[in-house]
Amino acid sequence: MKSRYRVVIIGGGVVGASVAYHLAKLGWTDTAIIERNVLTSGSSWHAAGGIHTLNSDPNMSALQSYTIKLLPEIEKESGVNIGLHMTSGILIARDADRWDSMQGNFRSMQAIGIDDCRMVTPEEIKELCPLVHVDDLKGGMVAESEGFVDPSGVVHAYARAAKNMGTDIIEHNRVLALKQLPNLEWVVETEQGTIHAEHVVNAGGLWAKQLGRMVGLELPVTPMEHHYLITESIPEIAAIKGDIPAVVDLDGFSYTRREGNGLLLGIYEQDFRHWNMDGAPWNYGIELIQEDPERISEELALAFHRFPCLQDAGVKRWVNGAFTFSPDGNPIVGPVRNLPNYWLACGVMAGFLQGGGVGKSLAEWMVHGEAEADIFGMDIARYGNHAGNREYIRQTTGQFYSRRFLMTYPNEHLPAARPLKTSGAYDGMTAAGARWGASWGLEIPLYFAPADFVEKPSLRRSGAFDYVAAEVKAVREAAGLLDISAYSRYEVKGPGAEAWLDRLLACKLPKAGRAKLAPMLAEDGRLKGDLTVMNWGDGSFWLMGSFYLREWHMRWFEGHMSEGVALKDISEQVCGFAISGPKSREILQKLTHQDLSTLPIFGATTVDLGLYTCRVVRMSLTGELGFEINCGALEHAGLRRVLLAAGAELGLKEVGFYAGGSLRIEKSYGIWSREFTQGYTPVQTGFDRFVAYDKGDFIGAEAARKDRDAPSTTQRIVTLEVEATTADCTGYEPVWQGEQLIGYVTSGGYGHSLGKSLAIAMVDLAAITGTEPLSVHIVGERCAAKIIPASPYDPEGKKMRS
C-alpha cells in the first residue's frame, strides 16, 4: 500500500472492481481498491448472478446491454473464468394488462436498438422450457441476451484486469475515517495507515451508509433481505441436455434458472424486510441471514404452480442475503454537491447486471467531466435532502422492493412517503377536487374531479379524460389557473451576477424588465438545462426550471461559480400560479391599478394583485395569452382565493398538469427529460434557435459551434399526428417508415382542443423528407402516423402575443 494515490475506491465488490477497471482503461492506473475484508465479501459473493438487458428504463437497458457485452472481454483480459452462461430468458405474462404492457415494452426495446427480443405464444414457451405450466398464460417475451455468471469469478476478473494495468488491491483494511483538506485532497484513515488521495469513490455496498456519514452525507440507501433457493436434483431437469432459458414470472414474483440438475428460484417477497437500515455491522462478512420460508409462502405457492416439478423437490440450499436498495431501485452514482472529488457508486442492487455500466459511466465522469450516456436516472442529484430521512427511505425502498415485479401504469401515482411537501393552497385545491401526483417530494395537481371519482390505473386513456378535456377547453376559451409551485427558482445577485450568467447560459441575457428562454450547455456542447432567465431590473436575476432538477442544477451552478455572485435556491420560499387563456389579462386587471396591456410578451415586472405584491412574467406554455405569477409561500393560499374570485364571472377554471401536457403538446413544446436531455445537442432538438452562437464565450460554445457547422447526429425532433383510438404515446414507442426503424417517440398525448392524438419524436433526417408511410406502436398496436408542421395549434403564435 502506498501513502498516496490519485483515486481510492472503498469497497471490493463488483461495483468497486468495475470502477477500478474502467478507470485503468482510461489511463487512471494510480488507483487503489481498499476492502475491509476480502473481495466479494459483502453482497457480491451470494448474488444469484443473473444478467439480462431488459429494464423498464431504456437508458438502464442500454447500460445493462453494455455490461453483458463486456463480460466476455473481462474474462479474456483477466484470464479468470467467470462462469458465463448465455441461456436466453423468458418473461411470461398471465394477466391481460401485463400482456399488453409486455408488448409495449418489446417495442420500446426495439426503439432503443435492442433487437434480440421476440414475442412468443404459450405453446412456444412450453417448447423452449418444458418445465413451465402454460395453460393460464397469455404469452411471453424471449430475450436472447440473458443468462448468468459466477459472481465471485466476475469480481475477481474485474479486479485482476485492473491489477494487471497497475491498480493496487488492498484487502483486510477497513477505512476508519475520511477528511478533506483545504486543498481538496482527501485523507483516508485505514487500519493499515493513512492514505492521501485526490479522489475517493464510495463503492461500499452494504457499508455505503457509514462511508457517507463519514463525510456528513445521509445517503438514500438501505439493505434489504432477499431470498432465493437452490433445489436438489429434479428428474425433469436432469433429463434435459444443455441450458434452458431463465424464466421470470412477473405475476408470480419469481425468477428461475437451471442450477446443475436443479433450479435456482428467487423471490421478490411482498412481505419485505429491511435489514440494518443504518448499514451492515463492520464485522459482517461472508454470512447469510436466517431464511424465513413462512414469509414467502404465498410466492412459493405461485412458483410451485408455475413449475410443477418443484412440488416434490427438496431444497439443497437457502440464501437469504442483504442487498442495498435506493428509493427507486436504481444505482446512486456521481459527484456529490459541496464535496469536491467525492464520488458515489453504490445502491446497485443488480451489481452483476449493472456494474459494468456503472463503472464505465463513473470513470468517464471522473476522467472526462461527463459520462457518454445520459445517466440522470442513477445520478445522486435526482434526490434532495428529504430522501435521506430514515422514514422516507423505509417507505420508498419497501414500496419499490414489493413492487419489483408489479406493473406501474402511466396514470398511477404511488403512495409511499406522501404527502411530504405541499404548497400553501394544497388544502383549498384538495377541497376543490384536485388529484395529486408528486415531484421531488412536492405534491402537484394533476387534474380536478368530483369527490366520488376514482381514477383506475390503465395502459390506455385515463378515466379522467373528460375532466382533462374540460380543463383544456377552459384555457382555450376563457382561462385556466395552474399551481406552479413545482417550478424551481434561483435568485442571482451581486456585482458579478450578469457576467456569470452570460457565461453560464448559451443565450443573450434579457434586458431589464424582460425574460428569455435560456439553454444551458455542458462543455461538450450537449444540453445541460432548459431554463428561463428573468432580469428584474433591480440588479437581481432569477433562473427558473423544473423542481426535480434542483440538486442537479445547483451542483452545476456551484461547480462553475465566479467571484462576486450570490446564488440562492428560493424554490421553497417562492411559489405561484400560471394563468393562461384569452381572458387571463382581463382577470388580472381586475386586481391591480397597473396597466397590464403595456406588459409585452416576456415582460417581467412587479405587480400588485389585491393585497399581494407579486413578481409577474408574461409568458405561457399553453400557446395562449398567459402570465406566471410568483408570490411568497405564505401568500399562496390567499392569492389563489383572490384569483378565483376575480375570474369567477369570466370562466376561470383550475387546471392540472395533465391539461398542461395536452396544451403543450399541441404547441410542440419540449420539456426536460423528454425532448431535452443531457444526451442531446441543441441542433438535434431544435433548441439551437435560442443559442446565441455569436455572443462570445460561454460554457460549451466551441463544441456547440462545431456541432452547428457539422452536426454530430442525423436525428431531429419532429411532431407526429397519430391515428390512435384508445391509447396515446407516452414515450419510447418506436417510429417506423415502412418496416424500417427510424426513431422513437420522446413524449405524446391527446390534443384535446385539436381532437387528435399527437407525439413528439426523434427521427432520422432522411425520414422527414421520405414519402413512405410512418407508423408507431402504442401498447403493442401499430398505428399510422405522419409528420406535421410544429405547433399545430395556432402555428403563428398570434394568440400568445395578443
* Phi, psi angles (nearest 5°) of residue 753: -75, -20
Q: What's the rounded Cα separation, in Å, for the pair 744 and 132?
A: 34
How high is the pLDDT of residue 607?
Answer: 98
CA angle, residues 702, 708, 714, in degrees to nearest 5: 125
Residue reference for cell 434586458: 511
Q: Per residue in 711-739, is it b (16+ CB within 10 Å) or e — as a string?
A: beeebbbbbbbbebeebbbbbbbbbbbee
369-376 long-range contacts, CB within 8 A, separation 24+: 369/522, 369/523, 370/522, 370/523, 370/524, 370/526, 370/678, 373/59, 373/62, 373/63, 373/679, 374/59, 374/677, 374/678, 374/679, 375/59, 375/63, 375/333, 375/334, 376/552, 376/673, 376/677, 376/678
Q: What's the rounded Cα separation, in Å, for the pair 413 and 458?
A: 12
CB-facing half-sphere around the CA of 247: CA atoms within 13 A: 28
CA angle, residues 351, 357, 362, in degrees to nearest 5: 105
End-to-end CA separation in angstroms for the chain: 71
Q: What's the grid cell of residue 579?
A: 394563468
Contact 594, 609 (CB under 8 A): no
3-state helix vs strand vs coil in the chain, percent to 5: 30, 30, 40
> Which domains does the chain possess?
4-325 (3.50.50.60), 714-802 (2.40.30.110)
CA angle, residues 425, 427, 432, in degrees to nearest 5: 95
β-strands 541-546, 514-521 pairing: unpaired
Q: Which residues contact 127 (CB under 8 A, 6 or more apart)?
A: none
3-state class of 322 per DSSP? strand
Q: How crowded is residue 515: how many other Cβ atoms within 10 Å of its Cβ?
A: 22
How high is the pLDDT of residue 111?
Answer: 92
Q: How crowded is residue 356: how many other Cβ atoms within 10 Å of its Cβ?
A: 29
Q: What's the rounded Cα separation, in Å, for the pair 675 and 707?
A: 18
Residue reference for cell 414489493: 402
Q: What's the grid cell of residue 124?
A: 412456444
3-state class of 753 per DSSP? coil
CA angle, residues 187, 192, 198, in degrees to nearest 5: 25
Within 173-273, where are the H helices?
208-213, 235-238
Q: What's the grid cell of residue 468?
A: 382533462
Q: Per residue in 24-50, is it b (16+ CB within 10 Å) or e — as a string?
A: bbeebbbbbbbbbbebbbbbbbbbbbb
Q: What's the rounded Cα separation, in Å, for the pair 546 and 525?
A: 21
Residue 509 DSSP code: P
Q: What is the pLDDT of residues 11-30, one digit of tens each?
A: 999 999 999 999 999 999 99
Q: What's the rounded Cα separation, in Å, for the pair 92 and 428?
A: 45
Q: What's the grid cell of residue 650?
A: 369570466
Name residues of the chain where pLDDT drops below 70. Answer: none
Q: How crowded is residue 310: how many other Cβ atoms within 10 Å of its Cβ?
A: 21
Q: What's the grid cell of residue 467?
A: 375532466
Please, which residues bridge with residue 482 across strands? 578
Q: How crowded is residue 538: how many other Cβ atoms within 10 Å of its Cβ?
A: 10
* Residue 177 identity (one-letter amino acid): A
Residue 30 DSSP code: -
Within 487-612, where are the H helices?
497-504, 550-559, 584-589
Nearest by Cα to 620 from 570, 663, 557, 679: 663
Q: What's the rounded Cα separation, in Å, for the pair 296 and 659?
A: 43
CA angle, residues 662, 447, 328, in degrees to nearest 5: 90
